[in-house]
Chain A
Amino acid sequence: MPETRELTMAEAVREAMAEEMRRDPRVFICGEDIAEAGTVFKVLTGLVDEFGTERVLDTPISEAGFTGIAVGAAMTGMRPIVDIMFGDFSTLVMDQMVNQAAKVHYMSGGKWKVPMVMRATLGATRRSAAQHSQSLHAWFCHIPGLKVALPSTPYDAKGLLKSAIRDDNPVVFFEDKMMYKLKGSVPAEDYTIPFGVADVKREGTDITIVATSSMVQVALGAARMLEEHDISAEVIDPRTVWPLDEKALIASAKKTSRVIVVDEGYGRYGVTAEIASVIAEGAFFDLEAPVKRIGAMHVPIPFSPPLEDATVPNEQTVFEAAKALCGR
């Protein structure tokens, strides 16, 4: 039996980076308060002790600047991991990610490569208000040249992050800041999870709940509630939203004939819209009902706890939507 341990999401992320930095001297991390402080969420605690301040590089509060530096470093032989403390700050790096990182390979006719990872956080309910709570991953999915990973378990986080670091393309890696303490089993030996391969988190026959990142646990909770009502829900996590495992999503939709898509980003023009459309196109004649989408309420994230809680999908909202879709 291979050895497995229970690790938190934060530990899994840290372990992935540490292993990749041991494996490849070109890998380094840069960002704000990442060295001695180990990031605000303490995800990188201890890395600077092993790798030093050149490879765990504290930067000024200059997101565009250090992301741009990472693009140039990636083109010229390094493999940077950029740490964007809050996903909300990705607004500040958009030119560097969208006009530079994503396009360098294509614009150069395939000659320059940008092997970098941008790690950022998503997710609300931390009472941090409108500029520290958004889930903006859909923006990056819109841009050819980028890949976007959304781990939902410690196992997935470690395997996907190692793939991201080894990838020769710019990868945007979003971690749910509310899930850093979530525990799960993680093998001790080296493994990677390929991009574009969805994972069925729970098998079911009556309805498919496609869920990403923070919403996977919500979907699993809703599935347990549905079971008490004799509704068997399948929960499937695409794990990377680009590349997207369209085949697996369509297959699950065909099997259950009813689909809900849940993602913490905004619904409008968002991840749920894309996935719903993929399923509608691929499984139309097998569907018993229109695909239902559930995302964050289309408002800036409010501060006050009862207000904020009302903007984020939860087990109850998913449960009720699923029940209604099944005609119960």
Chain B
Amino acid sequence: MTTAVDRPKTQSEIEAQQWLHMYRRMVMIRLFEEQVNDLYTRALMPGLAHLYIGEEAVAVGVCAALEPADYITSTHRGHGHCLAKGAALDRMFAELLGKEAGYCKGKGGSMHIADPDTGNLGANAIVGGSAGIATGAALSAKRLKTGQVAVCFFGDGALGQGLLYEVMNMASLWKLPVVYVCENNLYNEYTHNSETAAGDMLTRAIAFGLPALTVDGQDVRAVYQMAKTIVDRTRLGAGPTFLLCNTYRFMGHHVGDINREYYRSKQEEQMWKTERDPIHLLSDWMISQNLADRARFDQIRSEVKSEVEKAVQFAIAAPYPAPDKADQDVYA
């Protein structure tokens, strides 16, 4: 029985729902990171925080193309990847604050969130350090015939690490189901990559026989569509692919990196923030296509805001681990 209420959805409605879901994820990452910035500047958060603000479309677009069982590895700038792969806000905040309820019982912190339940093999604080792990996960998937795909997220800074080239070579030789996603945010910490990366970035992967593609990393629809095509063919046994996502880090290298004019101009930052914000790009496009109205986006934003607030309250109230837990979990 079909009524007006539960009539089958049209293609454009399904699509709209999909984009709204990605919008929600991007807003979740944005508000999470803004909250982290706030916690850090109020001295409530110990350690370091490398914010993902501005790059949300990469993590969300790529992870939307993955199955829950697929693997990811992440970086020091990893909160976005973890949330995009399905991490819960409250346990993320708890980990960042060093609480027992955190994903790693407070032992990993901001740069080491890991979660088997969402296929997150771990964020890694060694630049390029997880390239081997992601490739090894792809080897397991191939040997055990699980059909899983592994995605290795890294920044343009990792293009300076030899490990990446060693494992791309082996992934290509052995046709492993791994996607190398390079988030090119232009800066290796405080140094523009024109000073660190000679030649062309894509040809580095092409040299090993990998298909190498570029996408606008601020356009979540483009990232998703490209990632979906790549992930689907990877799952069918096509071997590894290299995907270069051009993006921008709106904030500093870490929260404490305030005065940045010695390595990039305020005008440059302003241009990206006003013209290339991935969240606005998506909502503006959906409005222009009559897929949603402004009120819908405001509603999502306010829902996510209260989720984030609830999660951060949980984390602040959560207890620290007892000091005698320090020597547990060293060995399995």
Contact = CB atoms under 8 A, between A and B. Distances in A.
Q: A104, A105, A109, A168 — which one has the most chain B CB atoms within 10 A of its CB?
A: A109
Contacts of A80: 136
Given A100-B133, A108-B112, A112-B114, A69 B162 contact: no
B126 interface: yes
Given A73-B139, A110-B329, A110-B332, A68 B112 contact: no
B142 to A, nearest CB: 9
Nearest to B126: A99
Contact of B163 (A64, A75, A144): A64
Nearest to A116: B136
Contacts of A239: none
Given A76-B137, A109-B104, A111-B104, A71 B132 contact: yes
Q: B73, B102, B166, B329 — which one has the most chain A CB atoms within 10 A of its CB?
A: B166
Contacts of B134: 72
Nearest to B178: A72
B108 A109 contact: yes
A109 B105 contact: yes
B331 interface: yes
B255 to A, nearest CB: 21
A227 interface: no
Contacts of A77: 140, 144
A192 interface: no
A13 B175 CA distance: 31
Interface in A66-118: 66-78, 80, 95-96, 99-100, 104-115
B129 A72 contact: no
Contacts of A110: 105, 328-329, 332
Contact of B170 (A66, A147, A169): A66
A72 B140 CA distance: 8
Nearest to A76: B140
Contacts of A64: 132, 162-163, 166
A80 B136 CA distance: 10
A270 interface: no
B132 A111 contact: no
Interface string B42-65: 000000000000000000000000
Contacts of B287: none
Contacts of A113: 332
Contact of B122 (A67, A104, A144): A104
Contacts of B169: 60, 62, 65
Contacts of A60: 166, 169-170, 173
Contact of B136 (A71, A109, A144, A145): A71
A54 interface: yes
Contact of B132 (A69, A78, A112, A115): A69
Interface in B92-148: 102-108, 112, 114-116, 121-122, 124, 126, 129-141, 143-144
Q: A72, A107, A145 — which one has the most chain B CB atoms within 10 A of its CB?
A: A72
Given A78-B144, A108-B122, A72 B114 contact: no
Range, interface on chain B: 35 or more
Contact of B332 (A71, A144, A169): A169
B332 A65 contact: no
Contacts of A169: 331-332
Contacts of B116: 108, 111-112
A69 B329 contact: no
A136 B163 CA distance: 22
A107 B136 contact: no
Contacts of A108: 103-104, 107-108, 112, 114-116, 122
Interface string B201-241: 00000000000000000000000000000000000000000
Contacts of A105: 329-332
A250 B168 CA distance: 49
A185 interface: no
A169 B167 CA distance: 23
A45 interface: no
B19 interface: no
Contact of B137 (A62, A65, A66, A73): A73
Contacts of B115: 108, 111
Nearest to A104: B122
B71 interface: yes
Contacts of B130: 100
A76 B132 contact: no
7 A-B pairs with the lowest CB-CB distances in the bound complex, closest first: A68-B132, A72-B136, A65-B166, A109-B105, A72-B133, A110-B329, A109-B104
16 contacts: A60-B173, A65-B170, A69-B132, A69-B135, A71-B132, A72-B133, A72-B135, A76-B140, A77-B140, A96-B163, A100-B130, A100-B133, A105-B330, A108-B114, A109-B107, A111-B115
Given A75-B136, A110-B105, 15 more contacts: A65-B163, A65-B167, A65-B170, A66-B166, A67-B132, A68-B167, A72-B73, A75-B121, A100-B124, A100-B132, A105-B332, A106-B330, A108-B103, A108-B104, A111-B104
